[in-house]
Amino acid sequence: MFVNASLCMFPSVIDPQRFRDVMSSFPSGVVILTAFGEDGQPRGLTVSAFCAVSMTPPLALACIDKTSNTLPAVQLTGGFTANILAAGREELARRMATKLTSKFEAVTWRRPSSPIGGPIFENDTSAYAVCALKDTIEAGDHWILIGLVTEGDHRESTKPMIYSRRLYDAIEPGP
Ligand SMILES: Cc1cc2nc3c(=O)[nH]c(=O)nc-3n(C[C@H](O)[C@H](O)[C@H](O)COP(=O)(O)O)c2cc1C
């Protein structure tokens, strides 16, 4: 049983900066979400809002700003690739977080085996998942993209990147 939040009265919402500070204290990985545009050229952006949703069927979600230049490519092709960055790829994460049309220059990628999904960054990832777009849910100034994972792989020996409190890091081995 869920309460419909729109029926409740909220006196106020959290201050935006405090909201950012709270959410940045929840560590995440870093994903480069990619798709091919109508011109056949790669599009992509850096995303921290990515997680698993369901095992059966295998679903994952990403939250994308409505102003993203990558969104039309995802809608057009009906899919995307989630490239889970390896530790040490800060420069790539920063580059893909810009609006530069040239951001794919000097980046090595390959096509997935299916036409769904975007470029796979094999040399810079600890894992990747190719997703067929199953649902899009409007949520404030973002879209929640729910993808059915059709293809993927991981490299056990490659540490994933961690993003926490606006800093890039890596998982350290325990004591
Ligand atoms: C570490 C990091 C995480 C980010 N996470 C997200 C995210 O989850 N969703 C999002 O829409 N933008 C996120 N961004 C911002 C986008 O990467 C940025 O707005 C990008 O320029 C959008 O590119 P595009 O318009 O070419 O798609 C993040 C940026 C950084 C540096």
pLDDT at 174: 73
Is the shortest distance between the CB of 69 and ligand 1 below 6 Å?
Answer: yes
* Helix, strand, coil tally for the chain in percent (to 5): 15, 40, 40
Residue 117 within a domain = yes
- Looking at residue 49, its pLDDT comes to 98
Total domains, the chain: 1
Q: How far, in Å, is the centroid of ligand 1 from the Cα of 70?
A: 10
32 in a structural domain: yes
Q: Which of 65, 103, 105, 161 to mutate to test the pocket of ligand 1 (most atoms within 8 A of CB)?
A: 65
Range of the domain at 104: 27-153
Is residue 126 included in any domain, yes or no?
A: yes
Mean pLDDT for all residues in the chain: 94
- Span from the CA of 46 to the centroid of ligand 1 (angstroms): 5
- On whether residue 162 sits in a domain, the answer given is no
pLDDT at 7: 58
Q: How far, in Å, is the centroid of ligand 1 from the Cα of 62?
A: 11
Domain assignment of residue 51, yes or no = yes
Amino acid identity of residue 91, one-letter, is E
State pLDDT tens for residues 57-85: 999 999 999 999 999 999 999 999 999 99
Q: Which residues in the chain land under pLDDT 70?
A: 1-10
Query: Is the Cβ–Cβ distance between 35 and 80 less than 8 Å?
Result: yes
CA atoms within 13 A on the CB side of 113: 6
- Which pLDDT belongs to residue 5? 60
pLDDT, position 53 = 98
Looking at residue 6, what is its pLDDT?
Answer: 59
Q: Is residue 19 part of a domain?
A: no
89-97 long-range contacts, CB within 8 A, separation 24+:
89/30, 89/124, 89/161, 90/161, 90/168, 92/32, 92/121, 92/124, 93/30, 93/32, 93/46, 93/161, 93/163, 93/168, 94/46, 96/32, 96/44, 96/45, 96/46, 97/45, 97/46
Task: Establish whether residue 163 lines the binding site of ligand 1, counting it when its CB lies within 6 angstroms of any ligand atom.
Answer: yes
Whichever domain contains 48, its CATH number is 2.30.110.10
Evaluate whether residue 86 is within a structural domain: yes
CA distance readout (Å), 151 to 10, 85, 114, 171: 42, 17, 9, 25
Q: Determine the distance separating the centroid of ligand 1 and the alpha carbon of 112, expressed in angstroms.
A: 22
